[in-house]
Amino acid sequence: MTDTKRLLQVESVSVALGGRMAVEDASLTVSGGELVGLLGPNGAGKTTLLRAVLGLAATSAGSVTATGTVGYVPQRHEFAWDFPIDVAGVVLSGRTRAIGWLRRPKAHDREAADQALELAGLTDLRRRPIGELSGGQRQRVLVARALAAEPRLLLLDEPFTGVDVPTQDLLNDLFGRLAADGRGLLMTTHDLAAAARTCTRVVLLNRTVVAEGGPELLADPEQMLRAFGLDRAIGSVRAEAGAAA
């Protein structure tokens, strides 16, 4: 990827939370056409780094440069699913920044929301109250809400956690199509095998960036030990990474 297509540059970023360094001297990039997996153990700082990119976590050092609109898909438990609204309403809320507070959506806003519903396979569920959705459907709603903003860069925080296999397959296909369309995606995930199959590049994080490279990196026992502190499913991941290489 050339620098002209670079959508995100994180350079030597540090974030302190509760008196300790949650992220320290971390650097990474995402370019258009890439699906970058951000992997590491619990407490490694993955979500904190995404929040720093969004400006939701203050950095104590370093810089973040993002080009174009940034979309964000939080972990599913962070959304109020008991709120009385339907699927279409949630997805349209992804246009709030473009519409402005207390203003009515325009034709383009509704078109962008409709396209996002279609991309996420939710058109038939547009009038379903969100409280009646399954876990996989809820995850697709969050993805569609982010896509309604028409982002060039999409940040995804554990999008596969707690979803069924058909939803995983649908999301993997969607993320691949978005990358092929020139968008950049940065995704945190605990699913090493899925990352080996679907990501164009992976970044191993344990407060700082331990290593980065192609998906075959996930079959490197030395790097995995450095990132996770233990030998985690190296045999199965080696097979997946070999198939993806």
In a domain? residue 127: yes
pLDDT tens profile 26-65: 999 999 999 999 999 999 999 999 999 999 999 999 999 9
* Dihedral class, residue 12 (left if φ above 0, else alpha if ψ from -120 to 50, else beta): left
Domain count, the chain: 2
pLDDT tens profile 202-229: 999 999 999 999 999 999 988 988 898 8
pLDDT tens profile 107-122: 999 999 999 999 999 9
Clarify whether residues 169 and 233 are in a common domain.
yes
Structure pTM?
0.88
What mean pLDDT is predicted for residues 91-106?
Answer: 89
Clarify whether residues 164 and 194 are in a common domain.
yes
Please say if the pLDDT value at position 243 is more than 60: no
Clarify whether residues 22 and 117 are in a common domain.
no
Please say if the pLDDT value at position 237 is more than 80: no
Domain span at residue 136 reads: 81-151
Clarify whether residues 207 and 228 are in a common domain.
yes
Q: Give the HSE-up count for residue 187: Cα atoms under 13 Å, Cβ half-sphere.
A: 30
* Residue 243, H or E segment: helix 234-244
- Model confidence at 2, pLDDT cuts 50, 70, 90, reads very low
